[in-house]
Every structure is written in C-alpha cells, then in structure tokens.
Chain A
C-alpha cells in the first residue's frame, strides 16, 4: 500500500455496485492520514463522492473535505474553459458558455474528446505537482479503457492541432508505472470478478497504463475452521435439538450461519480465480476489505473501509 500511495495518479475502477466510490474515497483518506496532500476526483457527476464525504455538492473547483484532502467533480466544460485559458489564450470568456455547449455536441460525437479533456485535467494536476497523489473515482470497468486510453485514441485519430500536441506529455505520465496505476475494485461475486479479470487482461495492452492493485471489497471473514465446519453442518442437520433447548428462533440462528458460510465459500472460489490471474506474470497485490455489515454509504463507511485498508497495508 505504501507503494500504492507513492504513485502520483490512481484510477479506481470496478463493476458498478462493488463500492468503487467508497474505495476511491478510502484510499484518498488513507493517503491524507499519512500526511500526503491528496486530490480525489469524481468523473461522472452522479454525486456519489459527495455522499461519501457528506458534502452537499462537489464542483470543478476542489473543496477541502478533510485535512490534506481535497475533492472535486469533473466537468468537461470547465476543463475546456481552463484549457483554453491556459493554452489558446483567446479572450473568449464571455462567449464561452455557448461555445462550450456546442463543443459538448462535438465532443459527444468525436471519439476521445470528452475523455481527453477529463484525463488531461487530471494529468495537468499531476504535472504541476499540485498534490502528492490524485485519486480518480473513474469510469466503471466496462468503460475505463476508453477513458484512460483517450490520449492514445486522439493521437491516432487526430493528425494535427493543439490536442494532438498535448497527448505526448499525458502519455508520459499515464504509461509510467512509477507514476500512474489502476486500482481494480471487485466484490467476491461472479460477474465483478469476471469483469475484473477481463479488464486486467486488456488494460495495459490497450492503454499502456498498469494495474497497481486489486481491492477485494466486502469479503466475508471465515466463521469456522475445517473441524468446526463439519460440526456446524451436523448442527444444521439437527436443528430440532437446538430448538427444543433454546426456543423456535434457534433455526434462524443456524440458518444465518449457513448463509454466511455458503456466501463465504462461493466468494472464496471467485477470489481464487482472480488470484490465478493476478498472481502470475502480472504480480498484482490483492488488498482485502472485510464485509462491514454496515450502512452502504457515507462518511462512516469511508472511515471503516479506510481503517480496513490501513490495517491490511500495515
């Protein structure tokens, strides 16, 4: 983890619903606790990162949500505005609203343009060394390749122009495993693990960016050792004995244990498949965050997941 936090730019991705935003927020928090100055950025403007930090709204202008920790929400329009101010130096500020909305249309149609405005802004913060670490609550695993790979696409499709000239320094940052890494978040479930494996297999080939870690979120800790498992199954087959002794609710207690054990066992199989991929030539660490049985959102969960990450990384 120390290694992870020593990078300059982390893209946190994962299948929808696995806790990607929470993990991004928690990594940012762990880094900030260690004294690093951190920027965490939400890319899709859905407000999940604002919820994670219990603030009403995040804007393009970063807000300090904790000591050393700033949070922002990406806006391609604001990014374009900033870009034009920095590079084009045309006094357009008054008209930019209309221009930007028209540009929005072009960006929608032209591949990679929106993405490069967003990724470009993040790379800019890295290049200027405004923070020790930039953590990105990135696109879900299905789309993150086109997000991170945008500079390559643009470099291929656009032959001339300012954007083309801008891609090289971005690629220098994105393709350096000492500076940029992708954190793939998953839960120990079938589809998230499959998507994670698929992403790990194509990420570097298609974007040039490297995977830095996998975070396995909501992992159930084992209830029993092997010997206890056998006994637990015997008890599950003899529920009436327990019901006689302690009352009708005893069957629910035994059921609950069976459910937790069954879920844990299935999850462990999925994680083994993941380990077979990360453990090979890729050598990517898997960081495990335990199931919290807690509320799914908000500052409390971010703190708990950050504690879990901290403990795991030592």
Chain B
C-alpha cells in the first residue's frame, strides 16, 4: 500500500500520466469538483509540482483550507495578500524548488470591500455603501459572491503580471457550476428589471403602472420601509454598474481563454464521480478546457484482482473454527506470535476483504468512465491520513507529476 514517505528512488515512468505539461503550458488553472474530494490539497500540491518542475513564480489562491493545512502554509490571518513560502521551508520538507511558490487565502469580506473601493465613483458613495446595513447581507447572498470573488481575484492576480501561473481552488459551490455563471450573473443582475424597479424613486414607483400590482402586494408583505432600505442600497450600488459589468465581462473572457484550464478533482465514490462527470461535460459545453481529471484517494488496483479474491477465499477456508490451523501455525511460527490469535486475525482479514474489494472494483469502473472526459487522468492513491503539512503535499505532488517509487510501480 501507499506509504507516507516520499519515494526514495524517483522514477518517471514513460507512459505514466502526468500534469507536468499542463502546468507548463497554462497561466491559470482552476481546480474544481464537489465538496470533500480534496480540492484544496490538490490545488496546493499543484503549486508545489509546478515549482519543482519549472522556474518562475507560481501563486496558489485557496479558499477555506483546513486549519492545519492553512497553518502549514503560513496562511493564518493573511487574507487576500499573497506571500511567498520560503525556499528553506520547502527544502526541509524534501522539495527542491526551481521556482517561487506564493500562497494567498480568499477573504470574501475584504474582497468585496476592495471592489467597492475600486468601483465607487466618489468617497461619499463608497462610504455609504460600506456603511449600509444590508451591504454584507446582500453581497454574501445574491450573486454567489464567493464564486464571483474567486474569479475576480484570479483575474486581478493574473493581471498583475507577477505570476507565471495562478492556481485557484474554487469555493465549494452548492452546484459546482454556479461558479462558471458568476460573472454573467453579475452582469445580468445589473441589467435586471428588479434593479431598475427598485431604483426608481419611491414616488414614481407608486405611479408606475406596470409595477403597481406587484408593489402593492410586496408592500403589504414586506413593508415599504424594508423595500426602501433595499432600494437605497441599490441606488448606491447602481452607480458602480459600469465598472462591475465591464469587469465581469473581462473575467468571463478569462475563463474561456486558451491560457486557462480546469482540473476536475474527484474521489471515486458514486456521488462525487457523478458530479465530476457532469461538471466536466458542462465545462466542455461552455467551451472551457478540462485540462485533466484527478482521481483522488483511490484504493490500490490490486485489491480488485482475481488473485486477491482467490487468496482471500483460500485464507478464509484455511482458518476459522472448521480449519486444521496449519496456516495459522506456520505464520505464527514465522512471525513469533500466538497461533490462536493469528488464526483469528487471518480469518477476519479474509472475510472482511470482500467489502473493500467490492469498493475497489466499483472505483475501477468509475475511474475508467471519468478518464474519457479529459486527455489526462491522474490517479492519486489513498494516502494514510489527511494531508496537513508540506511534506504530505510534496508526496501528493509526486503523484500528480506521475512520479512513483520503484516498489510501487512494479
């Protein structure tokens, strides 16, 4: 099985799938997939893989990393500001970097405030928006703002010209696809009837024939005061429309740019694999590039072989109450252990084997299915335990690059 130690003898197998070419040819990589499949760790490991392989400056923008991983990357309390991981930290973890690795964490609130500052026509509007009680509530809801901000930041960071490659760990969307529509949704929102209706001055709104029946009902249900609060906010917001829409269009263009690719991450359980398939197909429909599929936390393939099943039934038959105990006696003698306990352990191993073998067989099926969706599919084995240090990320990076150790590859 896979171990946590880094391969001692690194071997690049000629035909082993690798993400090296993708990391070398793209400027922006978006890591997508359903929640809980390891997107954040894969994004961080892609950054490591890139700086191991090539010169240049790489930035990983993560969203909501697990606490221990965040602290390993020095991300606590850094928010939107990118910082460089010192080379000696990488070297200590057994990585020999050629390029520079930078990391940043997405801070939604700070990101929105920054957008408002940038797009506000004057200081008065800016302050009025930032102080509006509805501002935070609304920005966190109405346009899937996490998704949108991640795109915004990607665009910004790419546009600084400071990085050769920007990797973004997309936020956990309820529907992973909402992220792709975030820029156009933003533009749509500003063109919507709702906004026009809300921003008509209160008195004229009362007399606008088209909106009258709706307004009467809305007024009765929600109260005119609340609607007025909402309207005030949008009047302010509307002054920033041109800036926002222009930017949203730029962000959208970036997503279909040939320099951009998506890496779809999935485990091989039913639900995430189904979601990944849907996601990859939808990306293609939208003319976006699926650069690679990463099948994460995969059980070793040899669990699903007939040799393994045969061995399991043989062990099961030669242990337990009805057996002669010879197998257990042999193993006990060679391992210097108690034969009775060995018998129980072997019997348990053999009878529980089918459970995991069945899961491995299903995984193999799903992996084959996912592999049809992109030119490259990389399989990352289940590594014992959660990854929360740079060494663990380095091991993951090896798998992403198609580097496995000698013993494992044979």
Binding site for B on A (CB under 8 A): 15-18, 44, 46, 84, 88, 90, 92, 95, 99, 102-103, 105-106, 108-111, 113, 140, 142-143, 146, 153, 157-164, 189-192, 194, 223-224, 227-228, 230-232, 234-235, 237-238, 241-242, 245-260, 262, 266, 293, 295-297
Contact = CB atoms under 8 A, between A and B. Distances in A.
B223 A163 contact: yes
B341 A228 contact: yes
| Chain A, interface SS category | helix
5 contacts: A223-B348, A227-B341, A235-B331, A256-B303, A259-B384
A259 B34 contact: no
A145 B185 CA distance: 25
A262 to B, nearest CB: 5
A15 B66 CA distance: 13
B8 interface: no
A296 B312 CA distance: 25
B218 interface: yes
Given A160-B223, A234-B335, A246-B315, A103 B34 contact: no
Contacts of A266: 384-386
A124 to B, nearest CB: 15
Contacts of B352: 223, 256-257, 260
Interface of B: 1, 34-37, 66-67, 133-134, 137-138, 141-142, 172, 174-175, 192-194, 197-198, 213-214, 217-227, 229-230, 234, 269-272, 299-300, 302-303, 305-312, 314-315, 318, 327, 330-331, 334-338, 341-342, 344-346, 348-350, 352-353, 355-359, 382, 384-386
Contacts of B384: 259, 262, 266
A194 B1 contact: no
B337 A234 contact: yes
Nearest to A48: B271
A251 B334 CA distance: 16
Closest 7 CB pairs of A and B: A161-B223, A249-B311, A252-B308, A249-B307, A16-B35, A105-B194, A296-B270
B200 to A, nearest CB: 14
B141 to A, nearest CB: 6
A99 B271 contact: no
B93 to A, nearest CB: 20
Contact of B219 (A90, A161, A235): A161
Given A88-B221, A255-B303, A293-B355, 15 more contacts: A16-B174, A102-B194, A111-B138, A142-B172, A160-B224, A163-B223, A223-B352, A235-B342, A246-B311, A250-B315, A252-B308, A256-B352, A259-B382, A260-B355, A266-B385
Contact of A16 (B172, B226, B305): B172
A108 B327 CA distance: 68
B223 A245 contact: no
Contacts of A16: 34-36, 172, 174
A90 to B, nearest CB: 7
B327 A110 contact: no
Most buried by A among B219, B221, B303: B221
A47 to B, nearest CB: 12
A107 to B, nearest CB: 10
Given A17-B35, A163-B221, A255-B1, A246 B356 contact: no
A73 B355 CA distance: 34
Contacts of A234: 335-337
Nearest to A80: B221
